[in-house]
């Protein structure tokens, strides 16, 4: 069942379906970003996901490998997006980079989602010249 929860979560992210994202999170869910900043609470998480999808309207994550130990999962793959959908012929606002995620499952809900990736590239793409 836990693999299905992760698959549902990734599908919800890739479909930008914030309600579906919230639907697979535990009430005490903690999100930890690549800077180590923590966020919890469904209202705050909903606002954060809506904002992120506005910044990167084509954001997706691709899971290439998943390792499980008990209810802790390590996922490896890529994250990609284009800042505000601003596409030019050279794709200067598009980024795709290796990423890893840690997920903890509790009672068939995701209680922790932690992102590991270099955020310098997406941040640099946000500077509109």
**pLDDT tens for the chain, residues 1 to 129:** 458 999 999 999 999 999 999 999 999 999 999 999 999 999 999 999 999 999 899 999 999 999 999 899 999 999 999 888 666 666 667 889 999 999 999 999 999 999 998 776 555 555 555
Q: What is the CATH number of the domain that holds 56?
A: 3.10.450.50
Tokens matching residue 111: 């209680």
Domains in the chain: how many in total?
A: 1
Question: What is the per-residue pLDDT for 127?
Answer: 54
Question: What range does the domain containing 66 cover?
Answer: 2-125
- Cβ contact 25:125 at 8 Å: no
12 membership: H or E segment, kind and range: helix 2-14
């Amino acid at each position: 069942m836990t693999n299905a929860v992760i698959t549902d979560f990734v599908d919800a992210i890739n479909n930008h379906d914030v309600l579906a994202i919230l639907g697979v999170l535990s009430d005490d869910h903690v999100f930890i970003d690549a800077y180590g900043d923590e966020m919890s609470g469904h209202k705050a998480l909903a606002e954060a996901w809506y904002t992120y999808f506005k910044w990167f309207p084509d954001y997706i994550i691709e899971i290439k490998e998943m390792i499980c130990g008990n209810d802790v999962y390590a996922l490896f793959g890529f994250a990609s997006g284009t800042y505000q959908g601003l596409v030019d012929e050279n794709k200067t606002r598009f980024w795709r980079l290796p990423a890893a995620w840690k997920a903890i499952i509790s009672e068939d809900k995701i209680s922790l989602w932690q992102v590991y990736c270099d955020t310098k590239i997406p941040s640099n793409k946000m500077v509109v010249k």
